Amino acid sequence: MKKIRYSLVLTALLGLHIAASAQVFRLPKLGGILTTPSTTTKTTTQGSTGSITQDEAARGLKEALTQGISKGADQASQQDGFYLNKLIRIPFPPDAQRVANTLRTIGLGSQVDKFELSLNRGAEDAAKSAKPIFLAAIKSLTFQDVWGILTGQKDAATNYLRRTTTTQLTTAFKPIIQQSLDKVNATRYYTDLTTRYNRIPLVQPVNTDLNQYATDKAIGGLFTLIAQEEANIRENPVARGSELLRRVFGKKS
């Protein structure tokens, strides 16, 4: 009788262990973003309501991120990608805006416009170097990262990229932007503008770090575009080009 009881207890404990182990590989109901698989070994699906594996979730997220950063970087690096996009256009440095306002009132508005154009040209030039940095960050995603992004806010992927690539982007962008600013004479324009302004009696002198300002704005503009594309993929079924994206990001019907 004791042997029978021991066998029953052992069987029950073994069953609990197997069930607990299986949960490690079970994807949750991610707020309508992912569907819950009916079994832990199922790898095929039927439409957007079928189950997906951890590997499929990771591949789907990486595909979505690659799509987002490619579109964002390509858009930003085109001529006028920054300059004609009101959402990311780089304006005169805010702490020197009074310089622009004053110079416009004394007939130097064209120089202010040329300076702003040169700032945006520098950002467009630097944006061409962003894609390899983003792709390296995407390749290093762990499943914990994937889980956090898929269960996070609509800009969770963008925030992941911002957290993991900003330092590298800054290092890569600064020399490119400086070269671009020099190439289009932005530094000279700015020096001329601020020198003229600083000569005006009783004004507070302006000494903005132009390269740092342009670099920060260029990186911020890129993330703005990537966040737009991420939100589009999450919310708009048409934006999910592949079947895998439709399954990973498709909401339950």
Place of tokens 């004609």: 84
Dist. CA 220–CA 30, nearest whole Å:
29
Contact, 120 vs 83, CB < 8 A?
yes
Going from N- to C-terminal start, the domains of the chain cover 27-249
Percent of the chain past pLDDT 70, that is, above it, reads 72
The pTM score is 0.72
**pLDDT tens string 14-53:** 343 333 333 333 334 333 333 333 333 333 333 443 567 7
Answer left, alpha or beta for residue 181, where phi above 0 means left and psi between -120 and 50 means alpha.
alpha
Of 202, 214, 41, whose CA–CA distance to 115 is shortest? Answer: 214
| Residue pair 133/172 in contact by the 8 Å Cβ criterion | yes
Q: What is the pLDDT of residues 131-154, one digit of tens each?
A: 999 999 998 888 888 888 888 888
